[in-house]
Amino acid sequence: MRHKRTARLLVGHLLVERHAVRPVLGHLVVPLLMCLGMGLAYLGAFHAPQAHAHDLRVAVVGTSEHNRLLAQAIKDRAGDAVDVTTLPDRAAARQHIMDRDLVAAYVPRSQHPELLVAAANSSTSATAAEEIFTTVAAQQDAPLRITDLSRPAGGDPGNQGLFFVLIALTIGSNACAVAIGTAGAALRMWTRLAIGIAGALAVSVIGAVLAGPAFHVVDHDLRGVWAMAWLYAAGITTLGIGLHAFLKRLTMPVLMVLFIMLNFTSSGGVLEPELQNGFLGSLHAFWNGAGFVEGARSLLYFGSAGLGARLLSLVLWLLAGLLLVARAAVAERRGRPAPAPVLPAGAESGDPTFRTAAV
């Protein structure tokens, strides 16, 4: 009986305050949609990666007839999951892996077959390749030796530290953009932009300190990683400031879709595109999160292989943000009434002296 009485009281209060409750319920729609979107994005992107495997680039070392038949047998067994080629020798295989053209290369030997990988490129892709070639070696009754050609940083043995740096940079940049757009609405757009660039600089410095001296995720070329962090943060911040001029309170949900739901899942920080569906794999080619993660990996572990394209993507995202800010500045200037002219003292009171001077 007590529970029923309490329920009736609660319902009564809600009916009495329904006019005040209705806008609260309206505001709850956005966070609930964000919860649904986050769940769909992350579970859709990261569950059962082996089921999404496609075009995993691997090679068999050796050009003999036996090795060509082995490569074809692997392709026939794995289907679209792998893209198998043959290479003339181990040195060529190593070069292709360090150029980021291959995930792994199998060196057939009767006693100790070897698999060359670079886990810093993607530990999950390397693991997928190991599973495939462990089965191949087992058919020869020989243990498979794994050789990792990359050298992970001391603070990042799992090769996912850069992804967590990306998360910190993204959250900070999103929050800066919304804070500037909301609290600085009365400021001129170019003033907001200057504050946003400074905020992005602060975010990038925090990210560099966390990645370097704090947690040793980056143990060399920290200045280069910091520069990419600033480009990344500035791109998000400027886009957010520009969007806020048009979207107002919807800016945060839009930024979450662009730079958290789509960005984190396509960045390659957890899974490379060959272990994801085609949509996220296509985003990986040009999205800004992939630009930072893959650019930093190229700089730190692969002698800058592919770095130029990733830097270009970060610069283009920043240019897009600056163009959007410029468009927002024009729209705001057109939408504001012209300021009233400032008249000298006495003009409004009809001072004859002023009238005489004016004539």
Check: CB of residue 107 under 8 Å from CB of residue 311: no
- Smallest CA-to-CA distance from 105 within 133, 76, 80, 135 is with 133
Check: CB of residue 143 under 8 Å from CB of residue 137: yes
pLDDT in tens, the chain (359 residues): 566 667 666 666 656 666 666 777 777 777 887 788 888 887 877 777 766 778 899 999 998 898 899 999 988 888 888 899 999 999 999 999 999 999 999 999 878 899 999 999 888 899 889 988 988 888 877 889 999 999 888 888 888 899 999 999 999 999 999 999 999 989 999 999 999 999 999 999 999 999 999 999 999 999 999 999 999 999 999 999 999 999 998 899 999 999 999 999 999 998 888 888 888 889 999 999 999 999 999 999 999 999 999 999 999 999 999 999 999 999 988 876 545 555 555 555 455 544 434 33
pTM comes to 0.85
- Smallest CA-to-CA distance from 102 within 156, 141, 150 is with 150
Q: From CA 222, how far away is CA 300, in angstroms rounded? A: 9
What is the C-alpha radius of gyration for the chain, rounded to an integer number of angstroms?
Answer: 29
